[in-house]
Homo-oligomer: A and B are copies of this chain.
Amino acid sequence: MNLNSDSMLLAPMIAGVVGLVVALLLYARVKSQPDGNETMNRIAGYVRAGSMAFLVREYKVLAIYSVVVGLALGLSLGWLAAGCFVLGAFLSLLAGFFGMKAATYANVRTTQAARTGSKSKALLVALDGGAVMGFSVAGLGLIGLGVLYFVYNSSDSLGIVLHSFAVGASSIALFARIGGGIYTKAADVGADIAGKVIEGIPEDDPRNPGVIADNVGDNVGDVAGMGADIYESMVAAIVSAMAIALTIPWDKMKELVLTGDEHSQRIAAVMLPLALSALGLVISVVVIFAARAFSNARPAVVLRNSLIVPPILLTVASYLLVPMFSISQNVTIALAAGAFGGALIGLITEYYTAAKPIRLVAEANLTGPATGIIRGLAVGMESTAIPMLIVVTAAYIADRALGLYGIAMAAVGMLAGTAVVMTVDAYGPIADNAGGISEMSGLGKEVRAITDELDSVGNTTAAIGKGFAIGSAILTVVALFSAFNMEVNHVRIAKGMAAMSLELTTSGVLIGILLGSILPFLVGSTTMMAVGRAAGQIVEEIRRQFKEIPGLLESKAEPEPEKIVDIATKAALYEMILPGMIAVLAPVLVGFILGPQALAGLLAGSLAVGATMSLFMANAGGAWDNAKKFIEKGGLPGHPKGSDAHKAAVVGDTVGDPFKDTSGPGIAILIKVMSVVSLLIAQLIATIGG
């Protein structure tokens, strides 16, 4: 069979449409579930309205951004580039919109299912809600790339078309992730602190006007933000592999296809990442329906297996399929290295945020918050080592199998199960919301017990998903980095120039590396500060409401949650601008002022620092969070909830909030965006400097 036959050219689009149809079916299914009593619906209505209001206002800001960048692209790289950029961005927004709608319908329906006493039914509703996001993300990504490849596969513009699409995806991911991250943690920290300042208000108390914003934040950050992030990773991994295939010197490509001339082999190499991602999406559909069939098993087992099974199926399928297209099994090796690497990173992340390290962090709180924080920082730092070793090993294996193209294929393999990972991730905030709604609606202990179990599983899977997202980001960035360098040299050689030297001892490269090492810290700093400032505004407004609304404390009057939602929305949208600009402008400025050598150094330096910093921050935050929960579950006998040790753990948890949900993911997206932007501008700056 021929990878570039007309029927094969349609495969990615068909797979994408299948994914989208599955998403729509599940969406309809979720909406058809019973949605409980009036109180539940009123609260869920607030959360839905708040989430959608944020999305709409965020989209307005992003529209302005897209117009500006689209114009810049149109004028510099042509209007085709501008159009593809807009398409990449628009599909990301569309996926986010579907996913949020589904999540905010699924939360209250999960509560209602729990109210009928059926844990398996509640699990199913939450899982279906998450799957809408999962299949929207993977489906729309494949449709977009599939259509572009179908139309431009024999055009000289293919490279620029793909790069522009990826930049569109990246831009939305950047702002959705950082804006969403600021929103969710500002609301969380703000509501928590206010709850402590105004005495006698427990967590998720309906009198606290910040609680709705906190629940909105879960959707905004962990559904829309995470979705845009993973959509971007998938798109960037596929695009980097396709870009490498388009520009790699021929002698490094020869092992890919067993027969055929250079032209047909190169076409096969360009098509392959799309074809394998389509395969991954089909496998994801199978896995999610299998998971639904096992909804009577323990939720933890169901979700865990959903993450472990796809790499196995993908490897087997690739092993069986590639010979039919006369393609070397080296492709399967590279793909498997990435796919299993991703699953392993997830499991390691789970260890560092759930097992022995958590007990150590919890115990350190016995001597106060300072020792608890020190221990959590130490655990976070230690936790960077094994994931990085896994990435290095996967890259090494893939490189031995297929060279730099293999590293990109490993990233494709890691992200082939995107739909499943995203499903499990979006499940988390739905379960969390379901718990919040049951608490605020005053439903009984039995209901809360079910939602609590679903929620606690969601916390573990969220940690796995986060590790997986960062791991795939690192591998994708390595692939994008190679693609950038090939693009630069492709242009230089076409213009009769020597290939760019990226010798580490060149001062341009060294200076780039040192400059690049600063950027993750700047994004970390600006996002941490942003959360602090926004949380401060929320605390003030909550204080004002308790002071000025008579009877609020005695539950005789209603709070005004929409005002908090409004503050959080405005703050998040405003505060995301500075870190976002750093990510977009740094590569542009360095590229145009110092040239491609320094830009390559910049990418390498920010990769080294960004990869480890984001793992450190995500895992330290997860460790503090779970240490607190460990104490609350009675992990330290004699030190129950409310004890000094618990209070100390709460301090760690609060520090960890922006660590794990704002700055850590923000830094991971920084390094992706910088690489994608660099790839896009590669041909404009290729001839600057030596």
Contact = CB atoms under 8 A, between A and B. Distances in A.
Interface of A: 189, 193, 196-197, 364, 367-371, 373-375, 377-379, 381-382, 384-385, 388-389, 391-392, 395-396, 399, 403-404, 407, 474, 478, 481-482, 485, 501-505, 507, 509-511, 513-518, 520-522, 524-526, 528-529, 531-532, 535-536, 539, 600-601, 604-605, 607-609, 611-612, 616, 650-652, 654-655, 658
A521 B382 contact: yes
A243 to B, nearest CB: 14
13 contacts: A370-B654, A371-B535, A378-B528, A381-B521, A382-B525, A385-B521, A388-B518, A395-B511, A403-B507, A501-B503, A504-B604, A513-B608, A651-B651
State the majority secondary structure of interface residues on A.
helix
Contacts of A482: 505
Given A482-B505, A651-B368, A381 B514 contact: no
Contacts of A612: 517-518, 520-521, 609
Contact of A536 (B193, B367, B369, B382): B367
B505 A503 contact: no
Contact of A388 (B371, B381, B517): B517
B378 A515 contact: no
A503 to B, nearest CB: 5
Given A528-B377, A604-B604, A616-B521, A514 B391 contact: yes
B504 A608 contact: no
Copies of this subunit = 2
Nearest to A193: B367
Contacts of A514: 388, 391-392, 395, 474, 478, 607-608, 611
Contacts of A529: 375, 378
Given A388-B518, A404-B505, A396 B511 contact: yes
A193 B374 CA distance: 14
Contacts of A501: 503
Nearest to A489: B505
A104 B520 CA distance: 42
Most buried by B among A197, A382, A403, A536: A382
A196 to B, nearest CB: 8
Given A381-B524, A392-B514, 6 more contacts: A371-B532, A377-B524, A378-B525, A378-B528, A382-B526, A504-B601
Interface centre among A367, A389, A478, A601 (most CB of B within 10 A): A367
